[in-house]
A and B are shown apart, each in its own frame.
Chain A
């Protein structure tokens, strides 16, 4: 299992996940009202009679920016472990939302994953499998050996005299 914990693999997968998350956020950031419409259709955080539209609107406005921050951190390799844990948390939450929508028979032609205008990907088992792959890759990044401490220890000359 040493290969799976390799820092090089973690860096590579981190960049791939980062690009995916940045790509996923752009269209939502450009079209907040369209993304809010999709959030409404899931009926996870309203709006309904008990909950006004605020919770769903706040999610629609903030989630894409949390995605882009996470993606940029992964691409730059800063806070890689934490950013990959964010990917795990966001993707698992999304899988719960998709499964729940499928279970309740909510028919979404567009899952709101990458594009919020036009048709996009529909809900289904293929989407959930794709998400599982993302979760697995993010876990590999999160559980990788930390590579920075040995690099510092290997350069004793840099220490101040």
Chain B
């Protein structure tokens, strides 16, 4: 029994050590304390900064699906779901280019849509900050929200 437990531990420890070793020296490792969605060129902001920019009149872009947007979003935010980006961009382009304070958000840290939309905007020469903790952080902090199709 003791031997079994020790061997199980040994398997886990050996695997973990190999994993950390490969991550450090294998050449394709990830930074353990950083979200893999985040790239060096990303401008990442959290709740306090998002609030400040909201108060300053920044334009928010909601990268979640339309159904989630309808259930509640940051007031004034425009719905730009990841899947609709190509279609929506020509319509939104003049507005996006006329604003210099853009913030993209989605369903929080496990959600990549805000990163994807921000990257696509950057490829078109438009800089948008990513509010990484996104909708969960905003709504749980009791910030103003709005329901429905309209920004």
**Same assembly:** yes
Residues on A lying within 8 angstroms of B by beta carbon are 29-33, 36-37, 40-41, 43, 46-49, 52-54, 57-58, 60-70, 73, 79, 81-83, 85-86, 89
Contact of B33 with A33 in the complex, beta carbons under 8 Å: no
Interface pick from B15-23, B51-59, B86-94, B95-103: B15-23
Contact A65/B109 with A36-B30, A85-B8 known, Cβ cut-off 8 Å: no
Contacts A54-B33, A65-B16 aside, 18 further interface pairs with beta carbons under 8 A come to A33-B30, A40-B109, A46-B110, A47-B109, A47-B110, A53-B34, A57-B36, A61-B20, A61-B23, A61-B29, A62-B15, A62-B16, A63-B15, A65-B22, A69-B11, A70-B11, A79-B11, A82-B11
How many Å from the CB of B49 to the closest CB on chain A?
A: 15
Interface positions of B from 65 to 120, Cβ below 8 Å from A: 108-110, 112
Question: B residues within 8 A CB of A62?
Answer: 15-16, 19-20
Question: A residues within 8 A CB of B108?
Answer: 48-49
Question: B residues within 8 A CB of A73?
Answer: 11
Cβ contacts A to B, 26 pairs, < 8 Å: A31-B28, A32-B28, A32-B30, A37-B112, A40-B36, A41-B110, A46-B109, A47-B35, A48-B108, A49-B108, A49-B109, A53-B109, A57-B33, A57-B34, A58-B32, A61-B19, A61-B22, A61-B30, A62-B19, A63-B19, A65-B16, A65-B22, A70-B11, A82-B7, A85-B4, A86-B12
Contact of A53 with B4 in the complex, beta carbons under 8 Å: no
Contact of B15 with A48 in the complex, beta carbons under 8 Å: no
CB of B148 closer than 8 Å to a CB of A: no
| Interface bracket on B | 20 to 34
A18 to B47: give the CA distance in the assembly, Å.
46
With both beta carbons as reference points, the residue of chain A lying nearest to B23 in the complex is identified as: A61
A23 to B32: give the CA distance in the assembly, Å.
25
Question: A residues within 8 A CB of B32?
Answer: 53-54, 57-58, 61
A132 to B28: give the CA distance in the assembly, Å.
33
Question: A residues within 8 A CB of B16?
Answer: 62, 65-66
How many Å from the CB of B142 to the closest CB on chain A?
A: 14
Question: A residues within 8 A CB of B45?
Answer: none
Contact of A65 with B18 in the complex, beta carbons under 8 Å: yes
Contact of B109 with A86 in the complex, beta carbons under 8 Å: no
How many Å from the CB of B6 to the closest CB on chain A?
A: 9
For B4, B8, B16, B109, the residue with the greatest tally of chain A CB atoms inside 10 Å of its CB is B109
How many Å from the CB of B120 to the closest CB on chain A?
A: 17
Question: A residues within 8 A CB of B33?
Answer: 52-54, 57
For B12, B19, B35, B133, the residue with the greatest tally of chain A CB atoms inside 10 Å of its CB is B19
Among A49, A52, A60, contact of B136 (Cβ-Cβ < 8 Å): A49
A29 to B15: give the CA distance in the assembly, Å.
12
